Structure 1
């Protein structure tokens, strides 16, 4: 008989509540007939009512449940652990001696030069295990331990991905089934919505304000669905820091409430957080990963915003069972992200160390904070009375509501383009892109200060033209 390990917390809570909750969730997981091993979590746990199943099978869709290891990719993982003296007659790798590269080095903006050794060059030019370059994986574990608290790497894992987007794609494809309900912020990252749309989901839209998603609204939505016997979501998607497009950061207090709701209703949190180190707060916000006592968070990080978007490197951190299923999907899709990119990132992280990495993050953060501040001055000067906004607390975007316009579609796709200034229309970040939206997203990342000033002034002109056109209709 298969044994399931069920964790529970007795800190400051009633045992009777725990038992009732345990029975409900176990029944939902359909494992009542299996032997249950109960383990008490640490008394410092901030989350009270929770029960989880180690193998995560309740959350997997049929496709993920049916995934089996690629035998040859599993062998490749074993081969990577063998000494160089091993005689390799088994893998279908090309010989690196036939490649036209004799050496690779790169220069940093500080003038330092990093050169790959012959051994590193051979690794950079060859296939890697699907989880990623082992030395880089170890570095990433150090980074997660430092910024999000010590992790139990016996029960958690990391998968190196082609940007955070691939990690998100693998997660969505692991959990979603046709017509499933899913919790998303409103507005939301457009490419995330596109991933979910393939499953024709029932979107549970949660409004946002300057402090992130509105928890009361989420709580009411879940409670109502439960009372009405509607299908309950297994997944919630959140972009918690410097949200794209809203530019907000979910307050730590709200995160704790959201995590408690996830535990109460047995939901996995997809923490898509590529802008984490571009927050403008006095200290880094607490992550959902740092609160995760149950293994119900998949955290998606990226080097795209802080190292290079062209490297196409990200990494997913989560329950070992979730990461394993994502690895199996990787084995039969892209195999792994670029070996050269992984080696470059590893060499850079070794060169910097944690302190050097922190200094780099601070430089990047300062740069975008200054760009944000300049954008806000230009918006205040040109758009007061024409639009509403709140100050972005992270990321690269300002979310602007145009007064007097029900829909900004024509403003952005016609009037502004005619003036050679580009914005993103609000409808692109909605679950239903056909509905009108009075919002636009302004990016302050790549435009110069002069371009920002000119672009916002042109936007003001365009808004006035749109409003005048409406009045004359």
Structure 2
């Protein structure tokens, strides 16, 4: 009997699992489509030859041992590399405080599982990373969001909410999730004064900060930032990843936290170590790679990509949009006039052969209707320019359609 098309009984699924939303236009497969929605690294920057050599070395030098549960020397080397790299950013951590994960996103999910009971308060930035929102929803959390501006999350509003919650006998958050450097999607960086204020609030009100530092290495200005972990190590769970600096497909990231928290996190890993053979390969890669030279190449490329996209936006869209200029990372966050709904405009953009991620995906309450996220890291330079041209054409078509329906104030912000 053919059972391929039989529908499973969805009533038997856990009530914690929501229907999966479609994020952006990631299912468009036409060869001429320009994917400004994809938050991907540039293919051309993957160290393919070095990875090939490293994979061969992992097999030839470490053999069957590298394929066992605990691996060979690679995982220990990875821990030492992470410890050393973290120290260069002011984070003092022993290897017992480091847990290698299946990318930074698994780190978010593990932190949520560690800290949250159904109904607990989670406070986030608005906008914020949509996969983090999904992780918190899966834990049954109650989510509250606080706006960002050019200096990151508005910590004063967070403090006001904490004071009010205590005064009114309402719960304070179990955790605050933040991406303080080259925010996804906002592109902004949290100022030092706000970092200090946030760390102080975490201590005073007894909540954890989950610090997602995935883009910290992609710094266009050379400026370094004091991490929230450095300011409040006992109140912070720090996340980072190899996805942006080597390749996302290797699926390796890491968490740094107090040893007692890491011991609990290991329980959630069910006794497993993350991709030990992949760690073996990456260890060999890091031994032969001039990492600072490699990082400098990444920065030069993404910096140039950002400038190409910004130039195209200013040429094609002018004063119709506004944005904060990101000084690192992958993303640019566009704000259109209030009357624009980017989720509706998305279908017109697809007809024009370009995709983006509508702003509503980055809010827990589906607000953000007049924003969208663009990624400048993935497409080639000419495709970036053409993609913005197509986006501008889609916006003009959307505007004309709505003008004909009586909306006549698109020129106002």
Match of residue 368 from structure 1: 302
Residue 276 of structure 1 aligns to a residue whose secondary structure is: coil
1:444 aligns with 2:383: no
Match of residue 311 from structure 1: 250
The change in CA–CA distance for 1:417 and 1:117 in structure 2 (over 3 A counts) is closer
Size of the aligned set, in residue pairs, is: 357
Aligned mates of 1:109, 1:341 — CA distance in 2: 10
Cα distance, 1:203 vs structure 2: 1.9
Aligned mates of 1:409, 1:224 — CA distance in 2: 34
The change in CA–CA distance for 1:250 and 1:110 in structure 2 (over 3 A counts) is farther
RMSD in angstroms over aligned alpha carbons? 2.3
Cα distance, 1:206 vs structure 2: 1.1
Is residue 182–residue 233 contact of structure 1 (8 Å, CA) maintained in 2? yes
Normalising by structure 1, report the TM-score: 0.71
**Aligned with 1:142 (options 70, 84, 108):** 84
Match of residue 344 from structure 2: 410
Residue 375 of structure 1 aligns to a residue whose secondary structure is: helix
Aligned mates of 1:173, 1:113 — CA distance in 2: 33
Cα distance, 1:139 vs structure 2: 2.4
For residues 214-271 of structure 1, give each alpha carbon's deviation from its aligned partner in whole angstroms, at most 9, with x where no partner exists. 1111111111111111111121001111111111111222211111111111111101
Is residue 312–residue 337 contact of structure 1 (8 Å, CA) maintained in 2? no
The change in CA–CA distance for 1:113 and 1:135 in structure 2 (over 3 A counts) is closer
1:281 aligns with 2:281: no
Match of residue 209 from structure 1: 149
Is residue 234–residue 268 contact of structure 1 (8 Å, CA) maintained in 2? yes
1:346 aligns with 2:283: yes
Q: Which has the higher contact order (CA 8 A, sep 6+)?
A: 2
Match of residue 222 from structure 1: 162
Aligned mates of 1:281, 1:347 — CA distance in 2: 30
**Gap regions ≥5 residues in structure 1:** 1-105
**Aligned with 1:419 (options 332, 348, 352):** 352
Q: Within 5 A, what are the aligned runs for 1:21-36? A: none
Match of residue 261 from structure 2: 322
Normalising by structure 2, report the TM-score: 0.81
Aligned mates of 1:110, 1:168 — CA distance in 2: 30
Cα distance, 1:420 vs structure 2: 1.0
Q: Within 5 A, what are the aligned runs for 1:370-409? A: 370-409=304-343
Match of residue 75 from structure 1: none
Match of residue 243 from structure 1: 183
Cα distance, 1:468 vs structure 2: 1.6
**Aligned with 2:240 (options 301, 321, 326):** 301
**Aligned with 2:388 (options 447, 456, 472):** 456
Indicate the structure (1 or 2) with the bigger Cα radius of gyration. Answer: 1
Cα distance, 1:109 vs structure 2: 8.5
Residue 298 of structure 2 aligns to a residue whose secondary structure is: helix
Match of residue 175 from structure 1: 115
Aligned mates of 2:230, 2:252 — CA distance in 1: 22
* Structure 1 consecutive aligned stretches of length 4 or more whose deviation exceeds 6 Å: 109-114
